[in-house]
Amino acid sequence: MKGHGASTRLLMIEDDRALAEMVATYLGRAGMTLEHRESAEAGLAAALQGGYDAVVLDLMLPDGDGLELCRVIRARSDVPILMLTARGEEADRIVGLEIGADDYLPKPFNPRELLARLRAIMRRRGPGSRAAAGETLSFGRLVIDRAARRVMVDGEERPLTGHQFDILCALAESAGRVLSREQLMDRVRGEALDAFDRSIDVHISRIRAAIEDDPKHPRRIVTLRGAGYLFTPRQDEEP
């Protein structure tokens, strides 16, 4: 993350202009610049131009589904995405995390919490991240570049969110040992985020979809019921 948010540039895709203005004022006091787009079309165009440190995305937009917009942005960019939603169903939030959002915040929200969550997801993506240790972890076809925060399978990059990358690193660093959910959360989260607590299984599922040949029958990240997760340090994918 950039020092003290001095040049942090954010994009907010939200049709509530008054809310966007309030958020811009609050984040401006923290040294951040917030640009606002009121529609999915305009928001997508801005997001894909690049240059943003994070995107704040409302799921309820007048001209499109925020979940689909999240999917499109994530397919073409690794910018951190924080979803805003007034929807009460947990399923919507889980779907958002599955398709690539880094975190979510229900409306109404405290702008102080929004700032904290934005800082957290940007820190995970930035060069100061704990995972950016300047080392590469190699397990046959799977390569984890912690400095560049990239995951490769057979030389092809597999996109993961900030949370998911940190989870994979924690598991890989403890290859061959079981990590309970509590141990895993303690290792990867810098702040106590309720959304992360409730969605760790979703993140594991997303990681498996990215790195496993058959995510429904995982061989790299194994669940041990009642114990936790085990990263198998096999050097290839042969039986």
Task: Give, for all 239 residues of the chain, the pLDDT tens digit.
Answer: 444 434 789 999 999 999 999 999 999 999 999 999 999 999 999 998 878 999 999 988 989 888 899 988 988 888 899 999 876 566 777 788 878 888 888 888 999 999 998 988 887 665 434 333 347 888 888 999 887 888 999 989 998 888 888 899 989 888 888 888 888 877 775 444 444 455 788 889 999 999 999 999 999 999 988 888 999 876 454 44
The full set of domain ranges for the chain reads: 3-125, 136-231
Residues 215 and 205 sit within 8 Å (Cβ to Cβ): yes
Whole-angstrom Cα Rg for the chain = 18
Report residue 219 as tokens. 């061989």
0.85 cut: is pTM over it? Answer: no
Residue 228, Ramachandran bin (φ over 0: left; ψ between -120 and 50: alpha; else beta): left
Q: What fold is seen in the domain 3-125?
A: Rossmann fold (3.40.50)
Residues 162 and 124 sit within 8 Å (Cβ to Cβ): yes
Which CATH architecture fits 136-231?
A: Orthogonal Bundle (1.10)
